[in-house]
Amino acid sequence: MTAAERYPAAAVQAPELSPAAGEDRTVGRVVELASGLLMLLDEHGITRRLPLDARAQAGRLRHAVKLAVQTITAAPSSRPPAPASPDRAGELRAWIAAQPWATDSGPVGWVYLLCFRDPATGQHRPLRGNGAGGQFAGHYWGWADDLVRRIEREHRNSNWKGPGRLVQVALRAGLTFELAWLEYPATRGRERRMKSKI
Ligand SMILES: [Zn+2]
pLDDT, mean of each 10-residue run, the chain (198 residues)? 45 47 71 77 76 80 76 55 64 75 82 95 87 74 96 93 92 94 91 82
Q: What is the pLDDT of residue 131?
A: 57
C-alpha to C-alpha distance for 55 and 62, rounded to whole angstroms: 10
Same domain? 10 vs 57: yes
Domain termination residue (choose one: 103, 129, 154): 103
Task: Indicate the helix (H) or strand (E) that contains 184.
Answer: strand 176-186
Asked whether residue 1 is assigned to any structural domain, the reply reads: no
| Domain end among 40, 75, 103 | 103
Cβ atoms of residues 96 and 66 within 8 Å: yes
- Tell me: do 98 and 163 sit in the same domain: no
Residues 79 and 160 in one domain: no
Tell me how far the alpha carbon of residue 53 lies from the centroid of ligand 1, in angstroms.
19
How many domains, the chain? 2
128 and 161 in a single domain? The answer is: yes
Q: Do 81 and 133 belong to one domain?
A: no
Residue 115 lies in a domain: yes
Give yes or no for a contact between 127 and 166, defined as CB atoms under 8 angstroms apart.
Answer: yes
On whether both 22 and 50 belong to a single domain, the answer is: yes
- CA–centroid distance, residue 118 to ligand 1 (Å): 11
Residues 17 and 95 in one domain: yes
Rounded to two decimals, what is the model's pTM?
Answer: 0.55
pLDDT reported for residue 83: 52
**pLDDT attached to residue 157:** 92
**141 with 64, same domain?**
no
- Ligand 1 centre from 124 Cα, in Å? 5
pLDDT at position 188: 93
CA of 49 to the centre of ligand 1 (A): 16
Give the domain extent around 114: 109-197
Of the three residues 40, 68, 103, the one that is the final residue of a domain is 103
Those residues with Cβ within 8 angstroms of residue 14's Cβ, 6 or more apart along the chain or in another chain = 31, 32, 33, 35, 36, 88, 91, 92
DSSP summary character for residue 111: E
Report which DSSP code applies to 126: P
pLDDT of residue 14: 47
Rounded distance from Cα 71 to ligand 1 centre (Å): 40
Co-location of 80 and 128 in the same domain? no
Q: Give me ligand 1 centre to Cα 132, in Å.
A: 23
Ligand 1 center–CA 63 separation, angstroms: 28
Q: Are 98 and 113 members of one domain?
A: no
Measured CA to CA, the distance from residue 11 to residue 7 in angstroms comes to 7
The answer to whether residues 181 and 167 belong to one domain is yes
The whole-number pLDDT of residue 120 equals 96
Do 50 and 126 share a domain, yes or no?
no
CA dihedral (91, 17, 184, 9) positive or negative: positive
Q: How far is CA 114 from CA 125, 167, 174, in A?
A: 12, 9, 15
